[in-house]
Amino acid sequence: MSSILPLLQILAFAAVAVYFGYRRASLRKRNNQSWDSLLSRLRVDWSARELSDNFLWKEGIDVTAENAWQRMEGPNGLWVMYQNSRVMLEMADFAARNNPDVDKLIVETLRSDAMQIRVCVLMCLAQYGFSQASEGVRINAFRAAAMYTGMAARMTALLQNYEAGILPDFVAAM
């Protein structure tokens, strides 16, 4: 019994050291990002332009829940929203780190949007796995799409106000 305790201490120390090493590497990677590297991570194989005539400039979508599900190509569009919301969150954090004049409320709102979209998409995909495209799945997908278009519009406003040079590339990527 007494020989196990030192082994457990070594294992615990090693686990903490690995965690801190991983954390340090991820922070270094985050700090070395550029606008171009962030933009290149946006998925372009599906766009929410299918859901709104004023996508990126105004919140909200112009279609019904049923029509939205079809236009987002079901789970494919949901997964793109999931991944792009994370990238837009990183873009907002990047803008806040590199421009002290960025409105902190917009950044916090974008963080909240990203988390809500990701949770909603995961719930919707789980529902879809159990019941295919039921009414509940389509309504949750519609809700995620509405939040996503709102987040994209806020991200456009943030870039327009603080990083106007990158805005055309962002619009093209979305």
Q: Model-level pTM?
A: 0.79
Of 67, 36, 34, 35, which Cα lies nearest the Cα of 51?
Answer: 67
Give residue 71's pLDDT.
Answer: 87
> In Å, what is the CA distance from 173 to each residue of 107, 114, 162?
20, 18, 18
Give residue 36's pLDDT.
Answer: 87
Backbone phi and psi for residue 78, each to the nearest 5 degrees, phi listed first:
-60, -45
Q: Widest CA span of the chain, in angstroms?
A: 70
DSSP alpha helix (H) spans, the chain: 4-31, 35-40, 65-71, 75-98, 104-131, 135-162, 167-173
What residues have CB less than 8 Å from 5, skipping those under 6 apart?
Answer: none
Token pair of 130, please? 């159990």
Token pair of 172, please? 């093209």
Count of residues for the chain? 174
Indicate the domain borders of the chain.
1-32, 34-173
Q: Which residues of the chain have pLDDT under 50?
A: none
Give residue 1's pLDDT.
Answer: 56
**Residues of the chain with pLDDT > 90: what percent?**
31
In DSSP notation, 96-121 reads: HHH-TTS-HHHHHHHHHHHHHHHHHH
